[in-house]
Structure 1
Amino acid sequence: PRRSAAEMDALVASGRVEGRPVPGALSPHEEYPDEIAEAIRAA
């Protein structure tokens, strides 16, 4: 979606979440489920 990046930036700016760049064309959890799960567990 067009506003998706702005919404993610706002979440990161709130200080309640940490952003992690993940390359890919699909949603990160679809292309890299193991890496996403690891990042969530490490938080």
Structure 2
Amino acid sequence: MPNGTLNKCTIKLYEDIDRIDRLNNDGTLMINKDKLLWWVKYHK
């Protein structure tokens, strides 16, 4: 997303489960592992 938020799906743009974390201004990537695992487990 333009604000640095990292989303997993383009259909659920505004749902919390879709926001798996963000790209920081310094270029580092923060990922919420619990949310990412939810996508990997249930959306094959």
TM-score tier after normalising by the smaller chain length: 0.3 to 0.5
With a CA cutoff of 8 Å and minimum separation of 6, indicate the structure with the bigger relative contact order: 2
Which structure features the higher share of strand residues? 2
Which structure features the higher share of helix residues? 1
TM-score, normalised via structure 1 length: 0.36
Instruction: Pick the structure with greater CA Rg.
Output: 1
